[in-house]
Amino acid sequence: MNDTVIHASDADFDNQVLNASGPVLVDFWATWCGPCKMIAPALDELAAGYAGRAKIVKVDIDANRSTAMKYHVRSIPTLLLFKDGQVQATQIGAVGKAQLAQMLDKAL
């Protein structure tokens, strides 16, 4: 697994997220979203810290509307934790790195 944040699209979401072998934390975000930009450094750190154990994936909701609609993303940032293709946890709004790490730890 990769030690950087992966950007997924509608086209490769299933491959990047649903078919992944371990937990995947997906950040639904947009370029104009202030809180999304605030949590980006924490996501970068988590991607490096959990390399080989979990993936961090970002989905730009403006460019990938069908994936955002499929998971009922109404406000951003929305973070969904997937494992074995299923949503295990949801976090709406910006939170600290520790809370995101806790979500990942529960899924490992």
The pLDDT score that the predictor gives to residue 15 is 97
Range of the domain at 85: 6-107
Of the candidates 33, 57, 94, 100, the residue annotated as catalytic is: 33
Tell me how many domains the chain contains: 1
Q: Per-residue pLDDT tens for 3-46?
A: 899 999 999 999 999 999 999 999 999 999 999 999 999 999 99
Q: Domain with 76 in it: what CATH number?
A: 3.40.30.10
Which residues, in sequence order, are CB contacts of 57 under 8 Å at separation 6+?
5, 6, 7, 8, 16, 17, 24, 25, 26, 27
Q: Is residue 1 domain-resident?
A: no
Distance CA 46, CA 12 (A): 22
Which of 31, 34, 98, 23 lies closest to 57, judged by CA? 23
pTM: 0.96
CA angle 8, 79, 83 (to 5 degrees): 75
Q: Is 33 a catalytic residue?
A: yes
Q: Is 53 a catalytic residue?
A: no
Specify the residue for token string 């730009």.
Answer: 60
Of the candidates 17, 36, 56, 79, the residue annotated as catalytic is: 36
